[in-house]
Amino acid sequence: MMGSYEEWRRKHDEDAANNYRAFAEQREQIRRDYAGQWVAFAFGRLIAAGPDEDRVAAALEALDPQPICGCVFRAEDEPAFEVVESVSSEFLPE
């Protein structure tokens, strides 16, 4: 477990940079081999691919250890490994 947000963020940013670098090297092959499919990418590699986004996401979520930085995206799209920091609407007053 990470000790602080700053430590977690540093590790996330390192992992994101590694994932972007690795994806750039594999982009054309992923787009060619998995066109029209969802792909999961983490740890600098393709984790899963298929037509069902939920199944691909489940494969990513089933990893042990869990990646600090990973994402599911369409093979023809660019991945977004950034942290999305926002307030969930479920916590806002009605």
In a domain, 16, yes or no: yes
Question: pTM for this one?
Answer: 0.78
Q: And the tokens for 14? A: 């390192």
The answer to whether residues 56 and 69 touch, using CB atoms and an 8 Å cutoff, is no
In a domain, 54, yes or no: yes
3-state secondary structure (DSSP) of residue 68: coil
| Domain interval for residue 67 | 5-78
* pLDDT band at residue 84 using 50, 70 and 90 as cut-offs: low
pLDDT in tens, 9-58: 899 899 999 999 999 999 999 999 999 999 999 999 999 999 999 999 99
Amino acid at 46: L
- State the total domains in the chain: 1
Residue 86 is predicted with a pLDDT of 47
